[in-house]
Amino acid sequence: MEFRVLTYFLAVAREENISRAAEALCITQPTLSRQLAELEDELGIKLLERGKRKTVLTDAGRLLRQRAEEITALTERTQQEFPADWGCDCR
């Protein structure tokens, strides 16, 4: 499971619409739909109920949203703990 795909999933959960989420992410709707389908295949469970106008999270989708929000928050906190001015002396 890739972090990027989790951010895509969160955008769909937030927008409740795949087309609007794709627009917000600056990617095409078919690309986003494919990524979501691959995520569902990888996890072996349906995450979204896709309607014409609205996309709704399943119970599994709600759990993944919670975990993805936790992962995103932890990632952001970790990045803040490592200031860019520390530099790298890796030679």
CB 48 within 8 A of CB 39: no
CB 49 within 8 A of CB 56: yes
CB 69 within 8 A of CB 61: no
| Confidence category of residue 79, pLDDT binned at 50, 70, 90 | confident
pLDDT per position as a tens digit, 3-49: 999 999 999 999 999 999 999 999 999 999 999 999 999 999 999 99
Q: Give the domain ranges of the chain.
A: 3-79
pLDDT at 68: 97
pTM given for the model: 0.86
| Confidence category of residue 83, pLDDT binned at 50, 70, 90 | confident
Fold (topology level) of 3-79 = Arc Repressor Mutant, subunit A (1.10.10)
pLDDT at 14: 96
Strand locations in 1-91 (E)? 48-50, 55-57
